[in-house]
Each structure stands twice: as structure tokens, then as C-alpha cells.
Structure 1
């Protein structure tokens, strides 16, 4: 039996925190209310009347519960708005195409009727990427019925997969072939292949093939101007890559209906451990040495003292490095020994196998979105932002964020908050720090308070030359930082591509470029 998806928060309803656990967690953040706010019943929600009457032949519904569940993504500000019953921006209708022809017909109708179309993926966007903030009628396009692995090429080790396949769905279909896509973002259960491609998603694996880009062989995309399908090739020097036009396009240029994806044999050998460090200086040096050694661990997560304590990996005020290796064909103990040797060379204390923090970190990692939702019910501010920069700037970035975002939290809330950090991905030339902010909010003002903190963080990242997002995409929330980061000649080209492929301006307007 499939668990029910939460309409307002993360994941499934059976894993949401009960009221008493919300109260218990809130004791970690002084100044919060005594009881959590109630979760509104879908039947009690006041949705605006639908402005659409789609042709009966199209797979479109205006059912209130479906519209409510497709109003927002799953960012903190989305959860708070849903909890407050603010569904003024709900889609006028939701489409569930079952074939590519359905997608073509839906876009043709929307273009002729002036209806905005916002691809929904699995709805796990945390950057305002699946909502519409304009005045036109809009349709949420849910592709999760296009969820099949259509073809497997075992010789080339690749598969043709429909864009609406959720992570578990596609992996289950690859399992009988002994193959895996090996792309596991935190949202794996609740996000789709098409969503990963459209947002250039980052997976769980911390080195080497960190982004979905590296796994793409070819794409098939439905645009208002026609269907684009690139050739299957292991590599090509034939001009700018057509796939690169749509990777990261966030539903603004077309709808990704299929992709040929590079696969791997399923791992048979795994090993993990952890190491502790007295300071972030030592720990960062160790991680850089590992990233530049060419050992390519599957997991290389550095937790600062605050993040280590929050995840239960350590409560002794130390930094924790979680390491993991895996292989389909060879034992991995030798590679793990190399990694632990590098950690020791930089002052790390490697845990005994039975004392490793890897298990505690993984459990916390998977549970954290539910914790976020529980604290949101208690009016806490609990949100993250991630970035990346080169190694020569990592120390400055970490220290500046701790100081300046911490100061912004104090100014906005009137009290200190937590600003924790972990490195989610590491490269030979840099790292991707991921920050978590936890503070006491004021009931009714939580969204505005977080927006103020987020604005300060975005300004800081731009000033330091760090990316506004490493793997969460741009959406609407990151547009100010993206506009600053993006070269103007590229902006001209992107606007021209938008005008050529989507002349009516119906696809996700306001994301990446201004609406037509």
C-alpha cells in the first residue's frame, strides 16, 4: 500500500512528526509557542475559483485537493504559507498527461488560450520553481504518469526513461537488469527524472559525477515550437550541445518527456567510516586533500560542530567527516584506507567501525525535512541555502556567512540563532557548503522574516563571488542572485531562445528570464 503524500509539507503523511514531538523539538529554540499550529484540512481550504474550462479531451482536473497539492513546492516559505491556508495562488487546473501526445496537445491548447503552464516534476522544488506569481490563468503540468523505462541498452549501459518517473520508480525498473542510474538527491523519493534534468540536480554522491548533467546521453523535449530530440552519442564536438540548452532550463523552454541516461552496474561492495577534527581549518584541509587525490569517495560530507550536533553525529564540539566508498566489481577496503590515511595526515581521528557517525548522519539526513516541517508548525524559522566556491575562498566564505548571516538572524528575530554548515559535494578545485539556519520566528511573520535573512545571504554570496545555488536551481526565489551571476551576453541569448521556442510566453514565466 502506497503512503499518502502530504499536500502541505514534505514526503508522506505517515512520517510527519506528531504534536508532542514538535513541542519537544521546539525546546531547542527558546521563544517559540507552547503548541504547534494545526494542519488545515483540505476540505476547509478556501481556493480561488478556477478560471479554466479545458476541452474534455484533455487530461485536466480542477479538483480542489489536487489543486491545493500543486500550489507550492516544498521550501520553508511554501510550508508556512500552506499551513496558514494561503492558497490564493493555486493553479486553476492540473494536467496529468499519460503520453507525449497529451503534452503536445496541452501546450497547443495553452498557447492558443493564453494559459500559463508550469511543469511540476515531483513538486519538490525549494526555490519557487513550481508556482506562478502572475495574473494569468495557469495550469500545473504533472508528468508522473509518464513513468516508464522504455528501453534498456545493456551493451552501451544506457536506458530510455520517461521524464515523469520518480526516483524509486525508475530504479525499480532498472533493478532486474542489474543497473542503476546512481543519482540519489535527498528528494529521491519525491522528485522526477525530468525535474532533475530541468534543474541540473545534484545527487547524494559527493565527488566525481555529482550532477545529473554527467549522466545524460540525449534528451527529447516538447516545446511550443516543436519537438527537439538529440542524438545518442558518448560525446560530440559538433557545436554547442543541444542538451545543454535544456539542462537547467527549469521548464521555461520546453517539457522534457524522455531521456537516454547513462547507467552503472549496481554496487556490491560498500564501506564507510567517519573522522573527527578539532577545527574547521584542519577538516577543510583534509577534505581538500581527499578531493584532489583522485580517490573519488561516494560520500565525503564534512559537518561543522553545529551540524554534527544537530545530526547526532557528535556532541563534543568537533567537526565530523563522513566517508563512504562503493564499487560494483572490486572490494573497497583499500580505497577506504587511503581516505582515512589522508584524514589522519591532517589531524583527523578516525572512528572505530562500530563508533562511526555515518549511520547517525544518514538517518538524520533523511529525516531532516520532516523535522523542518515540525518546527515550522511551532513558528520556528528552519531553512537552508547552498553555494559553491573555489578552495582559496572556502574559509572566508564559511567565516563570513557565520558572522553576517548570524548577525542578520539576530537583527530580524531579536535573538541569536543557529547557522550550521556541511559540505555536500567536493571537487578538486572547490567545495559546496550547505548552510542551515534555525531561529525563533514570530507567528504570522515567519515568511517575511526568512525572506530578510535570505536577502542578506544572497547579497553576501554575490559579494564573495560564490554561486547563488549549487544544486537547488534558480526558480523565482534565486532570480536576483542569478541575474547578478549570469553574464549579460548569455542573458541576451537565453531571452532569444525563450522567444524562439515559446513565443507566447506560456512556459514557467518569470523563471530564469523575465516574462514575455
Structure 2
């Protein structure tokens, strides 16, 4: 860049939708995209200006000792009202911010987190821990209505890699570190966490831990749980830190209490995470299948082979077509292998051979690097949330849900969702919708199908339609004993399914833990257990 050139503007986070404002589709692009789904309005919903929002009056006054860390600015309150589920986006587009927090706290240290929780507990102020706001299950939205005020606790200023243990290949990392920030600080050490969820740019280590997030690896190290060495957590009852250990049989794991606790039991402030050497050997391939059942059998064989591919995504015909990875109605299996230490071409060939033995047709690869199917899937994967927002502006109803079940029930679940949920969508919206599926993670004993539902909605009734579709999907998952969520957490949207899934003795223990650690009932009330009042 020369001295006379103006630097490009810094990217700005969207307050109402996914990601960067600059990456959102234009009005014309929204209309063009929606033309593929008949029955939608002619023009998209306009994006409201924050200055025109009817935010509720602020009800709390923080103490002077915290005042410089707490903001009641309209943009801060609006952008911390919801997560990024379809229902959140639609309500924001309609200017509904009645659930906005009274203020947002931006602590810069663990001591300040402690001070915020002490004040909130003593003044009946609900505290909603907030990583980067990418929850799609109502995890960051206050719905209880019984507290004197609501404070969103944004940990984004706590984003440093504090310590690296190169010998043990681990690092102590603050919970507010977003994916790119974290990886940028590990890169000079030649290390990586290698946890790349779709929300990588817009989610934090603390958020991944609190929601037991799924990441980059489709096999073996599928969840963030597998990468945790120890955690440090602040609760209203005190601060605790587990020992750094490679493994332990000393009673129930203290980390397991807080992994997946979704901000209801404490605030994760930092963690020691297991790292890896950065991969230098990579290879990928895609395989076409004319029969989706045969493709599922191939994936099962691969998951039970012990070859542990890093990527093993199976796209059904609809998903493959939507991603631009298929043209003639075929299913597509995307495979990837990687290593920091040895070539991987031979392992990829073994995986492709398994797929071929089950009726798959490998696509040609140039130089072993991959093919256009792999690239099309990757580009569509990263772009999909922006397309979802564009469809939301056109009042299409877009729902995604992921689950997992054992292999003996996978095919039946897939058929039930396609048939039974398809019938429910037609009844709810008045027209058939699209239901697509991909397998995001696979295990020797089962798979994690991820479904996408797209249907023509009715302007003003989008949220109600989404609620009805979500309820229908939950009933189908329950009937097939499939988990209500594989990696998106419970939040408030999945409480019904979670209450059915967990054993009652465990529910009693969880309620007791909530009462002991958060006696005032201020931490993310309504998530996982009923509010403590």
C-alpha cells in the first residue's frame, strides 16, 4: 500500500445477524437467492438502525468501582440481546429487542469477573456469560423475567495465551480468546489447538468449553472436551482450578462438571488446553454415491477402520446440490487426512478404497491435493450462515438441528426426519419445504446427522413457524432416542429435549450443584435447570 492509498475499513460485527456486516448479502442478492423458493415477499426486510430501536429502560446502576467496565450504550445492549439462531435474527430484523440486557460488562481480569458476580449476586442482577454471541440455542438470551436487572458478561477483553508448555504441548489460554486470536498467538510456537467449528471466527474458547462444542475433527477428537487439560472457573461460591493432569481416576472429574454447564454454574476464565504440532501433510478427496444408504454404510466402515480421517463429511443429494458439490443428484463424501510428521497420501488411499468397496466413485484429484467437490463444500460451509440471514430477510423459515444416534438407528432417523418432519413443515407453512442432511462427525458406534430445513414463511409469523418446526423436530428425535444436540448445546431452545434425555437422579444432582454454586440464582437463569429463586 502506498502512502496515498486509504486503508480498507476495519470489519464491523453485525449487531443483528451473523459475522461481519460487510459480508452480508445485499438487498438484490437476497431477492435473487429467494427466487429459488416460491411464495416469498418481493423485497427483503430492512435492517433496523440501532438508533431507531425501542430498547427497554435501564434498571440497574453499577457501583463506581465497576462503572468503567460496564456499558449501557444502545449498540452494546442491542448486540448482546440475542445469539444467532434463526429466531434471534428474525426478531432483531423486526426490531424486537425487548429482551435486551440493562448493561454489558467487559472485564479485563479474573478479579473483575469476581467483582461483577459479587455485586450481581447481592443486587439480584442476572448475569449472562457471553463469549462472542454465536449461540444458536437461546443460550445468551434472558427469558426468566424475575430479576431486578440483567447484565451481559462479555469476556472478549480476556483473550491472551498466557503460558505455553512446549514440553507437554499445552497452553494456558484466557476464555475470551476467539478462534483466530488464539491460533495467531500459538502459531509462533509451531502449535495449534486445531478446533475449527463453523463459528471459528465468532466464538471463544470459553464458549466452546461451556457448550462442549464440536470442532474440526470428524473422528477421534470431535469435541473440545477431548482437548482440555484443566480449567479455572469463577462461581459466586468461590473460584476453583483443577490440576493439570494427562489423566486421572480420582473420583468424578471436576472439569466435567463445568464442561457443558453453559454459564449456569460458573464463569470459565481460563483453561490449559492440549495442543498439537501444526500439520504439514494434508490430502483430501471426495467420493460420489448414487445410493445414500450405501454411502452411510461406507462412512460406518470408515469410522470403524481405525484410520481416523480428520474430515469425513457425508452430504446427502440435497445438501450436496445446495453446496454446489453435486450436479446430478448424487451424494458426496468429503474425506481429509493430515499429519505434522508423516505423509498421508497412503492413508487417504485406504479411506478411498473403503468408500469404493461400498459403491462409491472417487473423483479425479490433481496432484493428490483434492478436487472441486472438496473446495465447493468448504466454501459453502463458511458462507452458509450469511445465506441463512439473507433468506431470513426474505421471510423464509430456516432451521438447522444436529443430533447423534447409534448406527443401527441412523437410517431410520434419517428417513423419519425426511418424511415426518417434511409433513410437519408442509402443514405449518402451507407448502413443502427442503430438508437436507450432512454427517458432521462419525464414531465407531454412530453418527451425527446435521439437518437443514428451508421453507417459505409468512412475514410476521416467522418466529412462530420456526418454533413449531423446532417442536416437531424435537418430538422425532425423542422418539428415536437421538440426542437433542450433538454440539450446539442446550440453551433455552432445547430444554424440553434435554429434560427428557437426562436421567432424573442426575437432574437432582445438577439442581443441587446449581443451588450450592449460585445460591442467589443469578447465573444464566433458565438454562439446563429451572431458575433458583
So what's the TM-score if we normalise by structure 2?
0.96
2:282 to 245, 270, 273: 270
State the partner residue of 1:343.
355
2:39 aligned with 1:5, yes or no? Answer: no
Q: Is 1:316–2:316 an aligned residue pair? A: no
Q: Deviations over 1:183-219 (max 9, x none)?
A: 0000000000000000000002101000000000000
Question: What is the number of residues matched between the two proteins?
Answer: 516
Deviation sequence 1:234-281 (CA, Å, 0-9, x none):
000000000000000000000000100000000101111100001111
Asked if 1 retains the 8 angstrom alpha-carbon contact of 2:144 and 2:531, the reply is no
* Deviation of 1:37 (Å): 1.0
Give 1:299's aligned residue.
Answer: 311
- What is the match of residue 5 of structure 2? none
- Structure 1 distance, partners of 2:355, 2:101, is 51
Query: What CA distance in whole angstroms lies between the structure 1 residues aligned with 2:488 and 2:427?
Result: 27
Where 2:184 maps in the other structure, the secondary structure is helix
Distance in 2 separating the partners of 1:451 and 1:404: 16
Secondary structure of 2:17 counterpart: coil
Note the C-alpha offset of 1:134: 2.1
| 2:424 equivalent in structure 1 | 408
CA positional deviation for 1:2: 3.6
Counterparts of 1:323 and 1:400 in 2: how far apart (Å)? 27
User: 8 Å contact 1:179–1:266 — kept in the other structure?
Assistant: yes
What residue is the counterpart of 1:87 in the other structure?
97
5+ residue gaps, structure 1:
none
* C-alpha distance in structure 2 between counterparts of 1:315 and 1:403, whole Å: 24
Is the counterpart of residue 509 in structure 1 residue 525 in structure 2? yes
Q: Which residue of 2 aligns with 1:467?
A: 483
Q: Deviations over 1:141-193 (max 9, x none)?
A: 00000000000000000000000000100100000000000100000000000
Residue of structure 2 equivalent to 1:104? 114
Deviation at 1:443, TM superposition (A): 0.1
Other-structure match for 2:507: 491
**Cα distance in structure 1, aligned partners of 2:491 and 2:24:** 26
Q: For the aligned residues, what is the CA RMSD? A: 0.7
The 5 A counterparts of 1:39-438 are 39-58=47-66, 59-135=69-145, 136=147, 137-354=149-366, 355-438=371-454
How big is the shift at 1:383?
1.7
Does structure 2 conserve the Cα–Cα contact (< 8 Å) formed by 1:9 and 1:74?
Answer: yes
TM-score, with normalisation over the residues of structure 1? 0.99
Q: Give structure 1 regions of 4+ aligned residues with deviation exceeding 2 angstroms.
A: none
Q: Write the distance in 1 (CA, Å) between the matches of 2:216 and 2:248.
A: 28
Q: Secondary structure at the match of 1:471?
A: coil
Moved more, 495-504 or 131-140: 131-140
8 Å contact from structure 2 (residues 399, 470) kept in 1: no
2:465 paired residue number: 449
